[in-house]
C-alpha cells in the first residue's frame, strides 16, 4: 500500500528515493537524537500518485526529456507547460486526507515550514541550493495544500531543468515535500564542519545573526563569524559583524524587518561557550554522516535546534617564475606589469585587426592594447607595449591571464623586430635577446594546489576575477569569494569583439543574455556559497570605439578617463545595463551568491536614477541582492550617508581611479607613472575617510585596487584602518593572507601592550 506520509523518526538516509535528500537528512538527525523540530514528509509516492491520477505523467516525462536548456525561449515555454500540468493535477483525495491528518498531529493551525526535497537534492555531489521552493510560516490546511503543489511545480522550474542537464541527470524528476514545525528563532545561522573556503577539515566555521536565518543564508547583513578548532572544540577567533537589522515573525504571521541600534547591531550573537556548544553538535552530525556538513541552526529561549544539514559540496583539493633575465644585454626596458618570464619570437602588431598574424607562443609587441585585443593576447607567451602604466588595460588583462607583461616600454614597436627571439621578464621589466633555456611554458591558469591548513582572518580576503575560464582554479584558493568580477572582459568574450550597442541594434539582446549567463554561472557555481560581486560594465569611450561598430555609438573624447563612463552611461543609454540586470536576475535564480556593484558613481542623483532602473528590472523585489558602489571618485566620501539611505549595502574602493583623481595623474600614462602612488598620504587619507564613513553608516567596506597585491605595507594600512575586506589578484592571495594575518596579530599585541601600560 502506498505510503504518502513519513515522519522524521521513521526515516534514514536509505529513504532518499522516497523522501529526498532533505527529508532523509532530517530523519537521520532525529533518529540520532539530535535536536530537530518535529515534522513529516509528503513522499514521492504522493507526488507520483498526483501525476498518475491526473494522467499527465507520460506527457511530463516526454516534455522534460525534450527540453533544450541552451534555448532560453524554448526552455521557458517548456517549463511553463510542465508547471501548468502539475498545477492541473492537484492533490488526490487520498493524499489530501493523509496530509491533513499528519498536519493535525503537529497542532491546531501550527505554523510550519514547507520545503521541497528532491531525490537528488542535498547529496554529496549535487545540492540544488535554492532552486526548489521553500515557504515559511504556513498556517492552516488549505494553505499547506497550496504550498505542497507549489513545491511539486518547482521540480520543473527553468533553473532546475538546466541544472539537471548540466549534471547529466536525465531521469524523470521526483520530489518530496518536508513539513516541519516552525521555530521563531531569536538567533540563527549556518555552521560548516570544515572551512568551505579553504577545505581545512580541522576547523568549524559558525556564522550567526539575530532573528530568523533568512538574513544569514541570503547574505543580507554582515554576520558574526566564529572560527573554532575541532580539538575541544575551542574558539580560535570571533569576528563580530555589523548586523543592521533582523527579521522576526510578526503578529500576522508574516516576516518583519526590524532595524537594530548601533549597540545591538555590533553586539556578539554567540558567547564563546555557546559557539563551542553549537560546534559540539556539529561534530556529532559530522561523525554521524562521516563527512563534513553544512548545517542550518536556530535558537529559541536558549535552546539550539538543527534545522537542516547537507554535505559540503564545495571542498577543494602558482607556478614559480623562471629564473630572472640577466641585467646585461637588455634590448628594451619598461614597467614590469605582470610577473613571470616568457620567451618566443617577436610579433609586432599595430591594431587588433592584425591579431590573426600572432601565432600561439609568440611575444606580442604593440603600441598599446584595448579590450578588443583580448582574443589575441590569450595566445601570447608574453606582452610588451610602448605605452601604459601599472593599471592600464594590458597590465590588468595580463595579470588575469597570467602572462608576463611589460608596459611603458616606449620604443618597443620600433626596436624589436618580427621573428627576433627574445625573453620577457615581467617582474623586472626587461626584454633580453635569445631564449632562456630553462624557461617553463606559460601557465594558462592557476594550478590547483593541495589543501593546507589556513589561518582564519578577521579581515575578509577576496579575489579579483575577469574571465570565466579561471573560475574553478580561483575558487580553489583560500579566499572568501570574488570581491571584483569585471564585466568588460566577459562582455568581449560573449560578443567576440563586437560593440554591444551594435548587437542590440541588430536584435541580439537575447544572445547577449544567454552568453553572459553561461559565463557567470561557471563562476558563481564554482564559488557557491561564497559571494561574487559583479561590477557592471565600465568601458571608456576610447576602448569602446575600437570594437566593431563602435565608431557609430561612441563620442570622441580627449579625456576618456574622466568622461562618458560608469553610472552616467546607464542613465544616458541604459540598453546594455538593462540586459546586464536581466542576466543577473537569471543567474541568481540558480546561484543567489551573485551581487551587483555600480562603478564610477559621481553624484547622488546619478545613483538614484540607476537604482530606479534596478527597481524596474527583473531584480526588483529581490531582498537578498546586495547593492554595492565603487568608491573611485573622491565625492563618495561626502555622499556616503546619502548612499546608505538609498539602500547601498557596501562600498568598494577602486584605488587606481581614486589615486588618479586625488593626484591628478592619468593612470595610463607611462610618462607620469612615477607620480602614481596609491600610498601617497592624500590618497590614504581619502581611503581612511571612506572606510570610517562606511562603518558609521552600516555599510561594509572593501578595496579592490592593485596596491594590496603589490605592496604588503599598504595592505597592513588597510587592516589598521578597519576595512572589512580586501580583494587581490589571484597571484597575490598567499602573500596577502600572510600580510593580513601579521597585521592583525600586531594590532592585538599593540592593544595588549597598551592595556598593560600603567596609568598615570
SS3 sequence of 557-573: CCCHHHCCCCHHHHHHC
Position with higher pLDDT, 412 vs 119 = 412
**Residue among 132, 143, 137 nearest 100 (CA):** 143
For residues 521-531, give the mean pLDDT.
Answer: 91
Please report the pLDDT score of residue 36 as a whole number: 94
For the stretch 549-607, pLDDT in tens is 778 888 888 888 888 899 999 998 888 899 999 999 999 988 899 999 999 999 999 99
Looking at 123-221, which runs of residues are DSSP E strands? 134-138, 175-181, 187-192, 203-210
Please report the pLDDT score of residue 323 as a whole number: 38
Please report the pLDDT score of residue 443 as a whole number: 37
* 60/174 Cα distance (integer angstroms): 11
* 98/702 Cα distance (integer angstroms): 53
Report phi then psi at 562, rounded to 5: -120, 30
Count Cβ atoms within 10 A of the Cβ of residue 450 and give its class: 0-12 exposed, 13-18 middle, 19 or more buried: exposed
CA distances to 86, 122, 194 from 313, in Å? 30, 9, 11
User: Looking up cell 552530525, which residue turns up?
Assistant: 285
Is 80 exceeded by the pLDDT of residue 370? no
- Tell me the pLDDT band of 670, cut-offs 50, 70 and 90: low
Please report the pLDDT score of residue 676 as a whole number: 80
CA distances to 226, 240, 645 from 262, in Å? 20, 13, 15
Q: Active site includes 553?
A: no
Is 60 exceeded by the pLDDT of residue 132? yes
* 46/99 Cα distance (integer angstroms): 10
Grid cell digits, residue 605: 542623483
Comparing 27-41, 87-101, 313-327, 672-686, the range with the smallest average pLDDT is 313-327
- Tell me the pLDDT band of 507, cut-offs 50, 70 and 90: confident
For residues 308-320, give the mean pLDDT.
Answer: 57
Please report the pLDDT score of residue 317 as a whole number: 40
* 415/408 Cα distance (integer angstroms): 14
For residues 264-275, give the mean pLDDT.
Answer: 92
Residue-averaged pLDDT of the chain: 83
Cβ atoms of 258 and 225 within 8 Å: the answer is no
User: Looking up cell 580560535, which residue turns up?
Assistant: 236
User: Looking up cell 592571495, which residue turns up?
Assistant: 733
* Helix 44-54 with 57-66: angle, nearest 10 deg: 100
- β-strand pairing of 330-333 with 430-433: antiparallel
**Residue among 610, 695, 607, 708 nearest 654 (CA):** 708
Please report the pLDDT score of residue 699 as a whole number: 92
User: Looking up cell 564613513, which residue turns up?
Assistant: 693
Bridge partners, 333 (sequence order): 430
* 188/210 Cα distance (integer angstroms): 6
Residue in 405, 567, 610, 704 annotated catalytic? 704
Cβ atoms of 406 and 335 within 8 Å: the answer is yes
Per-position DSSP letters for 374-387, written without gaps between them:
HHHHTT-SEEEESS
Grid cell digits, residue 511: 544572445
* 291/228 Cα distance (integer angstroms): 17
CA 299 from chain center: how many Å?
28
* 207/741 Cα distance (integer angstroms): 20
- Tell me the pLDDT band of 453, cut-offs 50, 70 and 90: very low
* 24/5 Cα distance (integer angstroms): 13
For residues 10-15, give the mean pLDDT.
Answer: 87
Is 80 exceeded by the pLDDT of residue 286? yes
User: Looking up cell 541588430, which residue turns up?
Assistant: 506
**Residue among 261, 282, 306 nearest 192 (CA):** 282
Count Cβ atoms within 10 A of the Cβ of residue 142 and give its class: 0-12 exposed, 13-18 middle, 19 or more buried: exposed
Determine the Cα angle at 378 with ends 375 and 384, to 5°.
105
Is 60 exceeded by the pLDDT of residue 126? no
For residues 698-727, give the mean pLDDT.
Answer: 82
Position with higher pLDDT, 758 vs 624 = 624
For the stretch 180-231, pLDDT in tens is 998 889 999 989 898 754 567 889 989 889 998 877 765 466 678 888 999 9
CA distances to 465, 479, 505, 612, 641 from 629, in Å? 17, 21, 29, 15, 13
Position with higher pLDDT, 472 vs 166 = 472
Is 50 exceeded by the pLDDT of residue 444? no
Is 70 exceeded by the pLDDT of residue 727? yes
* 566/249 Cα distance (integer angstroms): 40
Q: What percent of the chain has pLDDT over 70?
A: 87
Q: Which residues of 595-621 are buried (b: 16+ CB within 10 A; e: fewer)?
A: bbbbbbbbbeebbebbbebbeebbbee
Structural domains of the chain in order of their starting residue, each with its CATH number: 5-181 (3.30.1490.20), 187-311 (3.30.470.20), 330-433 (3.50.30.10), 460-752 (3.20.20.60)
* Most confident range, picked from 127-131, 374-378, 506-510, 698-702: 698-702
CA distances to 460, 479, 655, 727, 741 from 737, in Å? 10, 9, 19, 11, 6
Q: Active site includes 393?
A: yes
For residues 701-729, give the mean pLDDT.
Answer: 81
CA distances to 26, 195, 322 from 449, in Å? 35, 16, 19
H or E element that contains 234: strand 234-239
**Residue among 49, 35, 41 nearest 15 (CA):** 41
Residue in 132, 242, 393, 595 annotated catalytic? 393
* Helix 509-527 with 487-495: angle, nearest 10 deg: 130
Q: Helix, strand, coil proportions of the chain in percent (round to 5)?
A: 40, 20, 40
Amino acid at each position: 500500500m502506498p505510503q504518502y506520509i513519513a515522519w522524521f523518526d521513521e526515516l534514514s538516509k536509505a529513504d532518499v528515493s522516497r523522501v529526498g535528500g532533505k527529508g532523509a537528512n532530517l530523519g537521520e538527525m532525529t533518529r540520532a537524537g539530535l535536536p530537530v523540530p518535529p515534522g513529516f514528509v509528503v513522499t514521492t509516492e504522493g507526488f507520483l500518485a498526483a501525476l498518475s491520477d491526473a494522467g499527465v505523467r507520460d506527457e511530463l516525462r516526454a516534455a522534460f526529456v525534450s527540453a533544450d536548456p541552451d534555448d532560453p525561449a524554448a526552455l521557458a515555454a517548456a517549463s511553463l507547460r510542465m508547471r501548468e500540468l502539475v498545477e492541473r493535477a492537484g492533490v488526490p483525495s487520498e493524499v489530501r486526507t493523509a496530509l491533513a491528518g499528519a498536519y493535525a498531529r503537529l497542532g491546531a493551525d501550527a505554523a510550519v515550514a514547507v520545503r521541497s526535497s528532491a531525490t537528488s537534492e542535498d547529496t554529496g555531489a549535487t545540492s540544488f541550493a535554492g532552486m526548489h521552493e521553500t515557504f515559511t510560516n504556513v498556517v492552516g490546511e488549505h494553505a499547506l495544500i497550496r504550498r505542497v503543489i507549489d513545491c511539486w511545480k518547482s521540480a520543473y522550474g527553468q533553473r532546475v531543468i538546466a541544472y539537471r542537464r548540466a549534471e547529466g541527470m536525465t531521469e524523470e524528476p521526483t520530489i518530496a515535500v518536508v513539513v516541519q514545525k516552525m521555530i521563531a528563532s531569536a538567533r540563527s545561522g549556518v555552521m560548516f564542519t570544515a572551512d568551505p573556503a579553504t577545505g581545512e577539515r580541522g576547523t568549524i566555521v559558525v556564522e550567526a545573526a539575530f532573528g530568523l536565518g533568512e538574513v544569514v543564508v541570503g547574505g543580507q547583513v554582515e554576520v558574526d563569524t566564529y572560527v573554532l578548532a575541532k580539538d575541544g572544540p575551542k574558539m580560535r577567533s570571533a569576528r563580530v559583524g555589523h548586523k543592521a537589522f533582523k527579521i522576526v515573525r510578526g503578529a500576522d504571521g508574516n516576516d518583519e524587518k526590524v532595524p537594530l541600534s548601533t549597540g545591538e547591531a555590533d553586539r556578539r550573537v554567540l558567547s564563546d561557550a555557546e559557539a563551542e556548544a553549537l560546534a559540539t553538535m556539529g561534530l556529532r552530525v559530522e561523525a554521524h554522516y562521516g563527512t563534513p556538513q553544512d548545517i542550518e541552526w536556530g535558537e529559541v529561549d536558549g535552546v539550539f535546534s538543527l534545522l537542516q544539514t547537507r554535505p559540503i559540496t564545495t571542498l577543494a583539493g602558482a607556478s614559480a617564475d623562471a629564473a630572472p633575465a640577466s641585467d646585461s644585454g637588455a634590448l628594451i626596458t619598461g614597467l614590469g606589469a605582470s610577473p613571470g618570464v616568457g620567451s618566443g619570437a617577436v610579433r609586432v602588431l599595430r591594431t587588433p585587426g592584425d591579431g590573426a598574424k600572432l601565432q600561439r607562443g609568440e611575444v606580442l609587441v604593440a603600441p598599446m592594447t584595448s579590450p578588443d585585443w583580448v582574443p589575441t593576447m590569450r595566445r601570447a607567451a608574453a606582452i610588451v607595449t610602448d605605452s601604459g602604466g601599472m593599471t592600464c588595460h594590458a597590465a590588468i588583462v595580463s595579470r588575469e591571464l597570467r602572462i608576463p607583461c611589460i608596459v611603458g616600454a616606449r620604443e618597443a614597436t620600433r626596436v624589436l623586430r618580427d621573428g627576433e627571439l627574445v625573453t620577457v621578464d615581467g617582474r623586472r621589466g626587461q626584454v633580453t635577446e635569445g631564449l632562456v633555456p630553462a624557461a617553463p611554458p606559460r601557465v594558462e591558469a592557476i594550478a590547483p594546489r593541495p589543501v593546507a591548513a589556513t589561518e582564519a582572518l578577521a579581515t575578509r580576503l577576496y579575489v579579483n576575477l575577469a574571465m570565466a575560464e579561471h573560475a574553478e582554479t580561483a575558487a580553489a584558493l583560500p579566499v572568501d569569494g570574488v570581491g571584483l568580477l569585471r564585466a568588460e572582459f566577459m562582455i568581449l568574450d560573449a560578443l567576440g569583439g563586437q560593440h554591444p550597442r551594435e548587437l542590440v541594434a541588430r536584435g541580439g539582446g537575447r544572445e547577449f543574455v544567454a552568453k553572459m549567463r553561461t559565463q557567470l554561472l561557471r563562476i558563481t557555481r564554482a564559488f557557491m556559497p561564497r559571494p561574487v560581486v559583479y561590477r557592471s560594465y565600465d568601458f571608456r569611450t576610447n576602448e569602446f570605439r575600437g570594437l566593431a561598430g563602435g565608431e557609430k555609438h561612441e563620442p570622441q573624447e580627449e579625456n576618456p578617463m574622466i568622461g562618458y563612463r560608469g553610472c552616467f552611461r546607464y542613465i544616458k543609454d541604459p540598453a546594455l545595463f538593462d540586459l546586464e540586470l536581466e542576466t543577473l536576475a537569471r543567474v541568481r535564480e540558480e546561484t543567489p551568491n551573485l551581487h551587483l556593484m555600480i562603478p564610477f558613481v559621481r553624484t547622488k542623483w546619478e545613483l538614484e536614477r540607476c537604482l530606479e532602473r534596478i527597481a524596474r528590472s527583473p531584480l526588483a523585489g529581490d531582498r537578498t541582492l546586495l547593492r554595492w558602489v565603487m568608491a573611485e571618485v573622491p565625492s563618495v566620501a561626502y555622499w556616503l550617508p546619502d548612499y546608505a539611505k538609498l539602500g547601498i549595502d557596501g562600498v568598494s574602493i577602486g584605488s587606481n581611479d581614486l589615486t588618479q583623481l586625488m593626484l591628478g595623474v592619468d593612470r595610463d600614462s607611462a610618462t607620469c607613472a612615477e607620480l602614481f602612488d596609491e600610498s601617497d598620504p592624500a590618497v590614504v587619507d581619502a581611503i581612511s575617510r571612506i572606510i570610517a564613513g562606511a562603518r558609521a553608516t552600516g555599510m561594509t567596506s572593501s578595496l579592490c585596487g592593485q596596491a594590496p597585491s603589490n605592496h604588503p605595507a599598504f595592505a597592513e594600512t588597510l587592516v589598521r584602518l578597519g576595512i572589512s575586506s580586501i580583494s587581490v589578484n589571484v597571484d597575490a592571495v598567499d602573500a596577502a593572507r600572510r600580510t593580513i594575518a601579521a597585521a592583525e596579530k600586531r594590532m592585538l599585541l599593540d592593544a595588549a601592550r597598551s592595556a598593560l601600560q600603567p596609568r598615570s
